[in-house]
Chain A
Amino acid sequence: DIQMTQSPSSLSASVGDRVTITCRASQSISSYLNWYQQKPGKAPKLLIYAASSLQSGVPSRFSGSGSGTDFTLTISSLQPEDFATYYCQQSYSTPEFTFGPGTKVDIK
Chain B
Amino acid sequence: EVQLVESGGGLVKPGGSLRLSCAASGFTFSSYSMNWVRQAPGKGLEWVSSISSSSSYIYYADSVKGRFTISRDNAKNSLYLQMNSLRAEDTAVYYCARDKYHSGYDSVDYWGQGTLVTVSS
Kindly state the separation between the CA atoms of A43 and B37 in the bound complex, as whole angstroms: 10
Name the distance in Å between A95's Cβ and chain B's nearest Cβ: 4
State the B residues within 8 Å of A (CB).
33, 35, 37, 44-47, 50, 57, 59, 61, 95, 99-100, 102-103, 105-109, 111-114
B105 near A99 with CB under 8 A, answer no
From B57, B59, B103, B113, A50 is in contact (CB under 8 Å) with B103
From B35, B45, B100, B114, A87 is in contact (CB under 8 Å) with B45
Q: A95-B35, A95-B59 are in contact. Are A49 and B46 (CB under 8 A)?
A: no
Residues on B with beta carbons closer than 8 Å to the beta carbon of A46: 100, 107-109
From B47, B105, B114, A97 is in contact (CB under 8 Å) with B47
B106 near A102 with CB under 8 A, answer no
Kindly state the separation between the CA atoms of A100 and B45 in the bound complex, as whole angstroms: 8
Q: A43-B112, A44-B111 are in contact. Are A91 and B105 (CB under 8 A)?
A: yes
Closest to B60 in A: A96
Main secondary structure of the interface of A (DSSP, over half): loop
- Is A89 located at the chain interface by the 8 A CB criterion? yes
B33 near A95 with CB under 8 A, answer yes
Interface residues on A, range: 20 to 34
B106 near A43 with CB under 8 A, answer no
Instruction: Digitize A36-57: 1 where CB-to-B-CB distance is under 8 Å, 0 elsewhere.
Output: 1010001111100110010100
Q: A43-B114, A50-B102 are in contact. Are A99 and B109 (CB under 8 A)?
A: no
Kindly state the separation between the CA atoms of A100 and B43 in the bound complex, as whole angstroms: 11
A43 near B111 with CB under 8 A, answer yes
Residues on B with beta carbons closer than 8 Å to the beta carbon of A45: 111
List residues 90-104 of chain A with CB under 8 A from any CB of chain B.
91, 94-102
B109 near A100 with CB under 8 A, answer no
Instruction: Digitize A14-38: 1 where CB-to-B-CB distance is under 8 Å, 0 elsewhere.
Output: 0000000000000000011010101
Closest to A101 in B: B44
B107 near A100 with CB under 8 A, answer no
Residues on B with beta carbons closer than 8 Å to the beta carbon of A38: 45
Kindly state the separation between the CA atoms of A11 and B35 in the bound complex, as whole angstroms: 30
